[in-house]
Amino acid sequence: MSGKIDHSRAQVLIEALPYIRKYQGATIVIKYGGHAMVDAELKKGFAEDVTLLKYVGLNPVVVHGGGPQINALLSRLGIESHFVEGQRFTDEATMDVVEMVLSGKVGKEIVSLINSVGGRAVGLSGKDAQLIRAKRKKLTRKAAGGDNPPPEILDIGLVGEPTRINTDFLRHLSAGDVIPVIAPVGVGRHGETFNINADIVAGAVAGALEAERLMLLTDVDGVLDQDRKLVPRLKIADIESWREKGVISGGMIPKLECCREAVARGCAGACILDGRRAHAILLELFTDEGCGTEVVL
């Protein structure tokens, strides 16, 4: 073995040390989605990152999406998808496919990847131990006509929103060195099954657990300013004004709303990261520079 010291590699470890100490025992909720879920190298890197977090004393909790996989199976089964105000209408047949894909195929693949690199992961549906209690989501839009008519109520089927997270169950798993991998499927008070947006579930879990960080993996660098430059830190109070100016638009709006809700409910901070960047989670948590946008009070 060479006697030469690779100072650059040693410096990386030294830089990480205070952050490892800072986050010791902390809960980190990670929403896993986008390109990071389909590229083979990124999938392996994600599994390694999550496993490393557990080994150095953090408690990662993974919430995953699966929209493209759901679309592919619906297409093969000849079930037509349609959307209402950008949200998938979920009838019983669609819900069966959603649950099959998320709780079965996608969730088990993530669990297998984490376990293959030395982690101990378990796949969960929101129905397990009533992990995610939910209610039917109400969607409205402004009605046409004069005299200020009441808003129109839209039917989006079995789409839900979380009402309670079984935090005791999640903490029990984390205390046993298990990494929970959660499919965003909820259960209603009468046993109904609900399809829930994965970002919303991740935010609800992070808030309920009072996590140190919520991390949303996306297919963009993070929040960009008017000059298309990455914003390293964004205060919740500034989100609305940026939205009104058009700086924040499209798919970034619901992600920032998710971050705002999580922080308001007790999460210390939320981050929007580019999941296409290898080991983005480690770079954000354990380096001085970070690599995404942190959303704070």
**222 or 44, which is more confident?**
44
Judged by DSSP in three states, 295 sits in strand
Read off the CATH number of the domain in which 88 is found: 3.40.1160.10
Do the domain assignments include residue 83? yes
Q: Worst-scoring range by mean pLDDT, 60-64, 113-117, 125-129, 287-291?
A: 287-291
- What was the pLDDT predicted at 213? 95
What is the Cα–Cα distance from 267 to 258, expressed in whole angstroms? 11
Closest CA to 202 of 244, 254, 135: 254
- What was the pLDDT predicted at 226? 82
Do the domain assignments include residue 213? yes
What is the per-residue pLDDT across 146-156, written as a single tens digit (0 to 9) for each?
A: 666 777 788 88
Do the domain assignments include residue 141? no
Cα separation of the two ends of the chain: 49
Do the domain assignments include residue 3? no
What is the per-residue pLDDT across 157-167, written as a single tens digit (0 to 9) for each?
A: 999 999 999 99
The pLDDT of 40-63, averaged and rounded, is 96
Backbone angles phi, psi at 274, to 5 degrees: -85, 105
Q: Supply the DSSP symbol for 150.
A: P
What is the per-residue pLDDT across 184-229, written as a single tens digit (0 to 9) for each?
A: 999 999 999 999 999 999 999 999 999 999 999 988 888 888 888 8
Closest CA to 29 of 283, 293, 237, 258: 258
- What was the pLDDT predicted at 241? 84
Do the domain assignments include residue 9? no
Domain with 240, as residue range(s), is 23-39+51-133+161-296
Judged by DSSP in three states, 104 sits in helix
Q: How many domains does the chain have?
A: 1
Rg (CA), the chain: 20
Instruction: Say how many C-beta atoms besides its own lie within 10 A of residue 184's C-beta.
Output: 29
Do the domain assignments include residue 229? yes
How far does CA 96 lie from the centroid of its chain? 22
- What was the pLDDT predicted at 1? 47
Q: Of all helices (H) and strands (E), which one includes residue 234? A: strand 233-235
Do the domain assignments include residue 103? yes
Do the domain assignments include residue 275? yes
Closest CA to 37 of 212, 181, 179: 181
Please state the pTM of the whole predicted model. 0.91
Closest CA to 50 of 243, 207, 215: 215
